[in-house]
Amino acid sequence: MKSPMLPSDHQAARQRILELGRSGKADALPELTKLLALPSNDLQRLAVSAIGKLAEFGADAEMAVAALAPLAKQARHPQTQQYAIRALVKYGAWGAKHVHDLRDVASNSGNKDYVRAATATAADAIELATQDESIGIKHRCQRCGATLSEEEHVQAQVAFQRNFCARCFDEVFLERRNFETQVEINKTIEARDGTLVQSKGEKCIAERLTTHRLTYRYDSKCRIVSSFQIRPDFYLPELDVYIEYWGLDTPQYKMAMHKKQILYQQEGKKLVSVYPKDLHQLDLHLRTKLRLFGFRS
């Protein structure tokens, strides 16, 4: 559904929602619940995501769940429903009375597969949170399920924005360090400006950007969420635009791609996606996409 809002109003509301979601302030919740009523799927999706982010800052769980639960059961757009489901999980046991309804959504073949999967996972997570609350467990390792001490919880949140026990924390740290080392080893293809990249597709993008005199950072860590870094393929500081080259076609790669795209979307970042099929008309593809963000060739 196309938003009936004026573009300027839509943009202002979008920025406000993102601001509230990043504020880390529990008292941002009432305004966000009101913004859910805006006639835009994009804004509604961003608002439910923002409400989910406030869970860790002590937002009123009863109010949040009351706003999220109806959208978790049914929303104007299935992606909004998926986001509402994920946000609902962050309020743990407060969502317990909605588990039965979530199970119904998960078993309904008329719903999108990704909505059904997210709902089934959410119902399980809420039930576990309810059980944990009854026996005094606050946090579990999302990798092995072990109970976390408060120190382990804080350490993992600061480093990864995830819950890991000490053992899994060390494993994840090593995995990420090894991954970054492998990325550096894979940078063997040289673009015209001397930048070493990992693929021919990335080389083409780098050279197109250079041709248009666009400054870029390649594979540089960027903090797009508080205390959380990603490594976009290209970042254009003059336009504040990210470019990702999605060059592989494996199930694992596609899953990681989808998660990264969602992160960009949740944070309202300007993303240009490039796929192998775009390379034969890469210059046109880049110019068309970048013009949406203020580029003038």
- Pair (287, 231) in one structural domain: yes
Q: Any alpha helices (H) in 23-77, and if so which ranges?
A: 29-35, 41-53, 61-73
Give the domain CATH number at 124: 1.25.10.10
DSSP string, 193-229: TS-EESSHHHHHHHHHHHHTT---EES--EEEETTEE
Note if the pTM is more than 0.75. Answer: no
- Pair (156, 76) in one structural domain: no
The reported pLDDT for the residue numbered 56 is 85
Q: Which residue has the tokens 């120190």?
A: 151
Q: What's the rounded Cα separation, in Å, for the pair 250 and 238? A: 33
Q: Identify the band that residue 215 occupies on the pLDDT scale cut at 50, 70 and 90.
A: very high
The reported pLDDT for the residue numbered 255 is 87
Boundary (domain end) residue, out of 119, 135, 151? 135
pLDDT single digits (tens) 153-166: 988 888 877 889 99
For the segment 184-189, the average pLDDT, to the nearest whole number, is 89
For the segment 118-142, the average pLDDT, to the nearest whole number, is 92
> Is 13 a domain residue?
yes
- Pair (199, 281) in one structural domain: yes
> Buried b / exposed e across 249-268, counting CB within 10 Å, b at 16+?
eeeeeeeebeebeeebbbbb
- Pair (181, 239) in one structural domain: no
- Pair (215, 228) in one structural domain: yes
Q: Any alpha helices (H) in 36-149, and if so which ranges?
A: 41-53, 61-73, 78-89, 99-107, 113-134
The parent domain of residue 75 ranges over: 7-135
- Pair (164, 217) in one structural domain: no
For the segment 46-51, the average pLDDT, to the nearest whole number, is 94
- Residue 270 β-bridge partners: 241
Q: Identify the band that residue 2 occupies on the pLDDT scale cut at 50, 70 and 90.
A: low
The reported pLDDT for the residue numbered 266 is 74
| Residue 186 or 243, more confident | 243
For the segment 253-280, the average pLDDT, to the nearest whole number, is 89
24 pLDDT exceeds 90? no
> Is 296 a domain residue?
no
> Is 2 a domain residue?
no
Please state the domain count of the chain: 3
The reported pLDDT for the residue numbered 42 is 87
> Is 266 a domain residue?
yes
For the segment 128-155, the average pLDDT, to the nearest whole number, is 91
Boundary (domain end) residue, out of 135, 151, 176? 135
- Pair (63, 169) in one structural domain: no
Q: Identify the band that residue 203 occupies on the pLDDT scale cut at 50, 70 and 90.
A: very high
88's tokens = 């609902």
Residue 88, classified by CB atoms within 10 Å of its CB into exposed (0-12), middle (13-18) or buried (19+), is buried
